Amino acid sequence: MPSPEDSASGITNAPPAGHGHGHGHGHPAPTASRRTRRLLAAVLTPFALAAVIGAVLLYPFGQHSAPEAKPGFTRNPVDGVVVAAHAASCTTGGTSGQGTGGAGNCVLLRVELHDGPASGRTIEQRVPDEPTTPEFGVGDEIVLSYSGDSPRESTSYRIVDYQRGGWLLVLVGLFAASVIALGRRKGAASLLALTLTLTVLLGFVLPAILSGADPLLVAVVAAGLIMFCVLYATHGVSARTSTAVLGTLASLSLIGLLSAGFAALTRLTGLDESTSSLISALGHDIDARGLLLAGVVIGALGVLDDVTVTQTSAVWELHHANPRMRWRELYSAALRIGRDHVASSVNTLVLAYAGTALPLLLTYKLSGQSLGDITTTQDVAQEIVRTLVGSLGLIAAVPLTTAIAATVVLSESGGRREDDSAAHSQERRADTSGVLDVVHRAAAAGSTRAVLGAARSRRGSRSRH
């Protein structure tokens, strides 16, 4: 039978309750304190609900998302392959009405149709041999527009483009494989986020705008949906991600205000060639300036989330490396990181807009106008507003996100310290009660042993007598 001293020794040498877990050093993101989680949820939940409710109210339930277009804007695509091509006259036996010119200025194409009402039939198409016309050769897979009348007549068809679906699928597959190979689980999550973004754009933004909803309001709601879905799907639900969402939300609001203000001050109408064609096709009015502002908001979101996530991660890593840093020190160190990122991001945004507007800039250059005259035209001025407003949003995103992240990470540390101190207090109370139990049991055992010893002494004295 073990002695009370042995029992006491065994109990006191046992590991204290609550210390049976390990301490890994893989630097995982720590769990946010309860106070931090409640604060972030209280701030972000109203915006998330507003985005969902706005999407429900703006989506054209029970309506045709795209009204019937006017004649000339619709087409029935038909796939075909060029089986023969040679120079021919543009006037003799013209079959397609594509272009005019003298003899020898056209190319006669024989095209085998692969689908449509006359699938398998070969038709002839004449295309002008001009610099503005694509060059077609034997074996080219092309797309023709079918007017809907006389499917066996060549005049019912018109060559409109090349077939590109196969090679585009190869490129998409290569892109997805590269993302997953490098990012692994993060890469797969980013592809899921990309799918969600396309779903919002194609399934909500386009139908809502085509049904007559305010384009800017639709863009704001869509940006909210994309922001919440993409950031949480890619980076997980955590205080760090919520901080990036807050920074993105604040910066995006600033971009919306600046774009609306400067679009009004510079009297941008948004009525470029493509928008005018869209209004003609719809058959009803659409807010062209709102459509311009919607493009600014959605276009800036893609760069904003990159900046805000980077800044938030920088703050968290700096705090992890030196938990003793005060708010000002943490903010200044992260801001130095953000300056380099902003410089490259702004340049990227400017080059992206310049690349898309390059043909337009070349056209104005040929007009002989001065630089001042060119930059104040409608088409160029709206690109300038897009670029500079988006850049201002990026610049503001760095200090805004850094300040929010520094505040959250320091308050999160304080909350965790309070939680840890409370847990340690409970452990100390548990350890103290355990020690007291041991003492009581040892005392009881000692008393029992003393009583038994006295009884044996009395029996011994009686036997001697």
Same domain, residue pair 131 and 38: no
DSSP string for residues in 166-219: HHHHHHHHHHHHHHHHHHTHHHHHHHHHHHHHHHHIIIIIHHHHHTT--HHHHH
Same domain, residue pair 196 and 158: no
Whether residue 106 lies inside any domain: the answer is yes
Same domain, residue pair 141 and 269: no
Whether residue 23 lies inside any domain: the answer is no
Same domain, residue pair 350 and 283: yes
Q: How many domains does the chain contain in total? A: 2
Q: How confident is the model at residue 403, as a pLDDT?
A: 94
Q: How confident is the model at residue 353, as a pLDDT?
A: 73
Query: End-to-end CA distance of the chain, in Å?
Result: 33
CB 346 within 8 A of CB 396: no
Question: Quick one: tokens of 32?
Answer: 């946010």
How many Å apart are CA 177 and CA 187, to the nearest integer?
9
Same domain, residue pair 104 and 56: no
- CA dihedral for 370, 375, 376, 380, sign (positive or negative): positive
The residue behind tokens 């703006």 is: 58
Whether the pLDDT of residue 15 is over 50: the answer is no
How many Å apart are CA 332 and CA 338, to the nearest integer?
10
Q: Pick 100 or 73 by higher pLDDT.
A: 73
Query: How many CB atoms within 10 Å of residue 390?
Result: 27
Q: How confident is the model at residue 64, as a pLDDT?
A: 60
Average pLDDT over residues 35-43: 88
How many Å apart are CA 435 and CA 441, to the nearest integer?
10
Q: How confident is the model at residue 443, as a pLDDT?
A: 52
pLDDT tens-digit series, residues 352-394: 777 877 887 787 778 788 878 888 888 888 888 988 898 899 8
Q: How confident is the model at residue 262, as a pLDDT?
A: 94
Whether the pLDDT of residue 67 is over 90: the answer is no
Whether residue 454 lies inside any domain: the answer is no
Same domain, residue pair 226 and 138: no
Whether residue 24 lies inside any domain: the answer is no
Q: How confident is the model at residue 449, as a pLDDT?
A: 54
Whether the pLDDT of residue 275 is over 70: the answer is yes
CB 196 within 8 A of CB 229: yes
How many Å apart are CA 81 and CA 125, to the nearest integer?
12
Q: How many residues does the chain have?
A: 465
pLDDT tens-digit series, residues 128-163: 888 888 889 899 999 999 987 888 888 889 999 999
CB 73 within 8 A of CB 79: no
Average pLDDT for the chain: 79
Whether the pLDDT of residue 7 is over 80: the answer is no
Domain boundary among 128, 163, 198: 163
Whether residue 90 lies inside any domain: the answer is yes
CB 398 within 8 A of CB 311: yes
Residue 99 region by backbone torsions, left for phi larger than 0, else alpha for psi between -120 and 50, else beta: left
Domain region containing 234: 34-64+183-420
Average pLDDT over residues 202-225: 92
pLDDT tens-digit series, residues 174-202: 999 999 999 899 899 999 999 999 999 99
Which of 258, 251, 245 shows the shortest CA–CA distance to 293? 258
Average pLDDT over residues 310-318: 93
Whether the pLDDT of residue 73 is over 70: the answer is no
Angle formed at CA 22 by CA 17 and CA 23, multiple of 5 degrees: 125
Residue 31's pLDDT band (cuts 50, 70, 90): low
How many Å apart are CA 43 and CA 69, to the nearest integer?
44
Sequence-distant (6+) residues with CB within 8 A of 399 are 335, 338
Same domain, residue pair 203 and 104: no
Question: What are the C-alpha distances in Å from 233 to residues 246, 252, 397?
Answer: 16, 20, 21
Domain boundary among 134, 163, 192: 163
Q: How confident is the model at residue 444, as a pLDDT?
A: 56
Whether the pLDDT of residue 21 is over 70: the answer is no
Average pLDDT over residues 406-423: 64
What is residue 65's DSSP assignment?
A: S
Q: How confident is the model at residue 6, as a pLDDT?
A: 43
How many Å apart are CA 395 and CA 402, to the nearest integer?
12
Query: How many CB atoms within 10 Å of residue 297?
Result: 25
The residue behind tokens 């972000």 is: 44
Same domain, residue pair 136 and 234: no
How many Å apart are CA 148 and CA 187, to the nearest integer?
45
For the chain, what percent of residues have pLDDT higher than 70? 76
Whether the pLDDT of residue 18 is over 60: the answer is no
Q: How confident is the model at residue 343, as a pLDDT?
A: 78
| Residues pairing with 79 in the sheet | 143
Three-class HEC string of 96-146: CCCCCCCCCCEEEEEEEECCCCCCCCEEEEEEECCCCCCCCCCCCEEEEEE
Most confident of 59-73, 94-108, 228-242: 228-242
CB 78 within 8 A of CB 116: yes
Whether residue 442 lies inside any domain: the answer is no
How many Å apart are CA 165 and CA 167, to the nearest integer?
6
Whether residue 288 lies inside any domain: the answer is yes
Same domain, residue pair 254 and 320: yes
Same domain, residue pair 121 and 247: no
Average pLDDT over residues 30-50: 85
How many Å apart are CA 230 and CA 240, to the nearest integer?
14
Same domain, residue pair 220 and 157: no
Q: How confident is the model at residue 68, as a pLDDT?
A: 57
Whether residue 408 lies inside any domain: the answer is yes
Same domain, residue pair 56 and 99: no
